[in-house]
Structure 1
């Protein structure tokens, strides 16, 4: 049985289970930590760096979604330093690709857009990259728009961990990284895709969407992932 430990979250003494992440403990105790790559029911990747927190005794900021708690840990989830770092991380996500909300099918239903509003992002201080990125419409039901992708890897993890098909991967490194299906085949030619749509529902932006939706119409049911994961635990 896992050991119970005591940690402090923003000065409040909280009980946690050894091995739980800071994000899970903070959420369970009513603390909001922004995140984009984290999704309940999936393993944590720590890719978006929006959930950075301060831990007493450690000079660098740590990602809350991948850092396990330990007895006596003291965590700060809100500070001016954290706010500035989170805002910068969000700005860099916007400048890296082509996020034109006004013509996106997920406008008004986008987690990246919602985080910008929550964190008070009113303008971007860095020059936009405006990369020339492809749109894959080869699948009969779905579309992959690399221009909207934030490389959160939620689609990769849900396809691997929940569906078991492992269609998706992230190829290359850094700014050249791209989401690819079946070792860089067009999505419509994938031999492993089951057309289940879980990756579409897990996607936080308009990168993965279903065909037939106009601007502002594409809503995601991302709670489906957590529900399926919970059912797996009950009926493995």
Structure 2
């Protein structure tokens, strides 16, 4: 019986990360579920037959612990940990929010990638999938800190692809548009559920976590010579950041 290929998913405690861990496990991967909330990743790992590691991607010592748990060989790394904090305009934005977004979306990606590259090389057929955003392509009012951080995610991905050209490691970025998950917008608006709900109000069938997870699973299933540089995905109702079709109760 052959040894299953191994995948690491950061930010696996909820949303896109948890859905991605489930999708990869269903495709036969042994999945290392990494996130700060130990109880959640332990429950997820038990559900999918994977392994749980409590890890804060912004803490290099914590990331070193993740690398030690993974061991010498790795096949897929999904840098999913990220987040948006605050929605104030540049004029009144909190620098601490901006700093936190850069730490998790850019430096966290850097920390994990640096720590796991040796195992990806040793695996002989590696894949790194970085979770970006359409915010990493287009600016919008109230999103300066998040768009700056996700532009950073995109540029780090592009740089890494250039620097690792010729090695047996593929580098992909997935950039989702509107994805309704249980936590993302609530966290962004400091726990204000009404503001979070308003983002998706009237939007028929926004993407959900499982839709993004399917994109990761598909990329991971492709043959080694086939690299998806970037994949932008949106719900049908969203044509661009500022162009979203919404229906009212009277329309339904």
Tell me the TM-score normalised to structure 1 length.
Answer: 0.27
User: Which structure's CA Rg is the greater one?
Assistant: 1
Tell me the TM-score normalised to structure 2 length.
Answer: 0.26
